[in-house]
Structure 1
Amino acid sequence: MRRAVCPGSYDPVTKGHLDIVRRASRIFDEVIVATGVNVSKSRFFSPEERLGMLETATADLPNVRVAGFTGLLTDFCRDNDVHAIVKGLRGSGDFEYELPMAQMNAHLADVETVFIPADPAHSFVSSSLVKEVASFGGDVAAFVPDFVLERLNARAAERSRGA
């Protein structure tokens, strides 16, 4: 079985993320969308919220499952018989950032990294940018699924009130 992992923080999951996951699901027999659950990092959404949003967002993809992980991604790969890591690339900066990690991951485990170029419609979108724009009341509806938009706007409003 050809099993791959699409790792990320997914804070929040964007349409760009989902495009990469959908495309990976056509290449591999099974795709695991894995998000780090490091509670020491400050995130907009909790690990449980991110996992729940990912499960909802990928529910229509029968060969995709969602999992959380702690520690090294290569350990997750070994534990789950994963031999490919799928990463989306928005531009050359992403490649420069991702290449050393891909090489380190190949050194640490029997795993190859597969790069999928982002759809140009999503190439400028990042979770960080989406959160920042939403925090200032900007419209990010084009970049996230509707159910994520509702949660994102509610969380941004909570944070602006200091809740």
Structure 2
Amino acid sequence: MMGKLLGAVILLSALAAGIAIYYFQVYGFYTEVEPHGTDDVMLTSMTTGEREPIPYDAFRAIDADSSPIRYRACFSTRQSLDALDGAFAPYEGAAPRVAPGWFDCFDAEEIGDALADGSALAFLGQRNIEYGIDRVVAVFDDGRGFVWHEINDCGDKAYDGSPVDETCPDRPN
């Protein structure tokens, strides 16, 4: 009888832990980001290297303090893809990260497919928004846009313990 009781306690504890881990991973750490209204979507200019806002509306975003790569945003813009392509720095090798299912405006698979077939382009939003993390902005030819964070080369090196070269900025203390 004592073995069955102990087994039930272990099973219930494991179930409770699993539910808690799932909740915190999918819901618990995320918060809605309040839009600023003018500078939520910024791209890096190819001519000046400075960040510039682009016109946008319908902005929605989520973020979490638990990881620098949990930021996701959706928006729409009236700016043509051709105009953006000529003015702003492209982001090579962009690979959107999956968002929680409840943040339904962000579909990483659709974004990745559009980047691959050329119906969307990826731009540098901000290099090293946090050390080793870049903000990437993708815009579809129909005006839909998406933002996420990616680990850059300096971040890859710093996080896996490889020596960081001189092209990387100084790491903050």
Q: TM-score range by the shorter chain?
A: under 0.3
After TM superposition, the score normalised by the length of structure 1 is 0.27
Greater length-normalized contact order (CA 8 Å, ≥ 6 residues apart): 1
Tell which structure's C-alpha radius of gyration is larger.
2
Using the size of structure 2 for normalisation, the TM-score is 0.26
Looking at secondary structure, tell me which structure has more strand per residue.
2
